[in-house]
Amino acid sequence: MPGKPRSRGYSLVEVMIAMVILSVMTSVIITSFIQASRSSRINSNAVAAKNIAQGYFEMLAIEDFERVGNTEHPDYIVPADYNNEYEDKELTDADPVWLDQALGIRCAVDFEFRGFGIAENGSSSMLVDNDANWEPDEWKGHTLFIVSGVGEGQFVEIAGNGQTTLDLASSLAFPPAAGDRYMINNGKTVRITTTWTYMGRQYQQSIESLICNFEGSDDFGF
């Protein structure tokens, strides 16, 4: 009568292979979890940063028009020695905004006000502002308004621009003179940028929009 078959045990090689497979699977799962957690944190911080910028813009939009500018709205800068987002260090150079208080992350907020100024000189088809620093053709297709001075009340489409010049699509009846104030699109273009660091990498979110002179104020703040 044949004997009962004995239960087969696992060899050392089989055990080692199983341990390697289990280790690899565990490593993949942990890595995936960490990456998903990091992506979620980055996305949530990006939304928060965009909301911070939007909040500042909404405050600017209801501000007195003449107060909208660099002198009234300074940047919020994270001090150079603040480099550990997991520790709330004492901030001495500024008071940046909390972005992620759980991780001790603060964000810098940068305000840039563009699209207005005082003419240096000009002609019937050009305006020159030596204090400007425009990107090539960034104002192409927009409308130039002369809001004070010799050419006050005139407006014309912008055909293109250089770093300090606006080329006009049609001629002005009264060329802009030195000291004439102008605004593009009859307002001030505001760009607000939030910047923060997470796990050694820098991130940014920006919004840009126009604050119009709806009230028709004669005090432009520049």
96 and 203, same structural domain? yes
List, for residues 72-81, the tens digit of each pLDDT value.
Answer: 888 887 766 5
**Which domain covers residue 95, as residue numbers?**
39-113+189-212
Number of domains in the chain: 2
C-alpha dihedral sign at 109, 111, 112, 115 = positive
Q: How far apart are CA 124 and CA 167, in angstroms?
A: 10
List, for residues 154-179, the tens digit of each pLDDT value.
Answer: 999 999 999 999 999 999 999 999 99
Report if residue 71 sits inside a domain.
yes
Report if residue 60 sits inside a domain.
yes
pTM: 0.76
201 and 178, same structural domain? no
138 and 156, same structural domain? yes
Categorize the per-residue pLDDT at 17 as very low, low, confident or very high, splitting at 50, 70 and 90: confident
46 and 96, same structural domain? yes
